[in-house]
Amino acid sequence: MQKQKRIMVMAGPGTLPSQGRDRMDLTHYNVKFSGKPRLTPVEMLDAWPEISQYAETCTDDGPVMEVATHDDLHRLSLRIQEILQRSDINGLVWIQGTNTLEETAFFLNLTVRSDKPVVVVGAQRPFTAISTDAHLNLVNAVRVAACTDTRGKGVVTVTNSEINAARDVTKTSTFQVQTFRSRDLGVMGYADADRIVYYRAPVRRHTTLSEFDLDKVTEMPRVEILYGHTGADPRLARSAVELGAQGLVFAGIGAGALGVYTDELRKLASEGILIARSARVGEGRVLNIGNTYEEGMAAADNLNPQKAALLLALGMTRTRDINEIQRVFDEY
């Protein structure tokens, strides 16, 4: 009989470990409303002993990791890297809130230099709620982390029985359980009742093939996102720089056009501020040619603005050459 995989389960803040006031509470489960603290990983695993059918689990006894800033993600990635270096750990599940789950997953995909499975999971309904997705999402996350086929595929997310690549996935609904989707490219596979099944694998650089080494980074560069819209005030771009932003991501209109921000962003680019053009539309690539091309700025391919900001910040830890930044967007 094959020996069970040993999976580390870690948790930060978020809906999945939260407890509502009662089973009908789908909206007031924050501890300040419910008066009930978030469940620990041990408590969640104890509630579902069936998980032991799929893997041996253990939990991290370190401090609870936050995910509110780039520096938080920096610390989390280094901690996960440290855990995965252990010979007794075969994979890891990280539990957090869904609001920024895609950013955490993508950052880990770019910085955790291990081919062991890393699964990021959250829930739209708290652990205590009627018809919660928290229970099955947690079970499936452990199953996917323990699956041999997950190894080497980079960081993945598991929600609603769907496996998505960290680079591609985004939150698409405020409250519904089918919120996480890879709009352009679709799911990688499914955590179905009979087995874990994959249909594709990511081809962009990640994890063990990544050039980003957080051991050599003491502080993450500041990157801000600007949003193009009718009536926008382009002075916000310089204000962001004056407040300390070293790089800017522009959520462009249409195919990544700068609109009323054009003159201001061109000035900033000429002054050495690194700028990446993304798009606000949700699908499709921003091209580095054609009508929306801007000299001295990078095109973010099909990364949404929030992921482009992470990649730009990491790129800036390696180089301040805009051509090299464009290479980073082309390869990751």
Dihedral angle over CA of 314, 320, 325, 328, nearest 10: -40
DSSP 100: T
CB of 167 within 8 A of CB of 108? no
CB of 142 within 8 A of CB of 54? yes
To the nearest 5 percent, what fractions of the chain are helix, strand and coil?
30, 20, 50
Structure tokens at 97: 């809130």
Give me the amino acid identity at 85: Q
Residue 99, CA atoms < 13 Å, CB-side half-sphere: 7
d(CA 18, CA 162): 22
Radius of gyration from C-alpha coordinates of the chain: 20
d(CA 110, CA 331): 11
172 is catalytic: no
Residue 189, CA atoms < 13 Å, CB-side half-sphere: 20
d(CA 138, CA 145): 11
Q: Which residues contact 62 (CB under 8 A, 6 or more apart)?
A: 79
Active-site residue set = 15
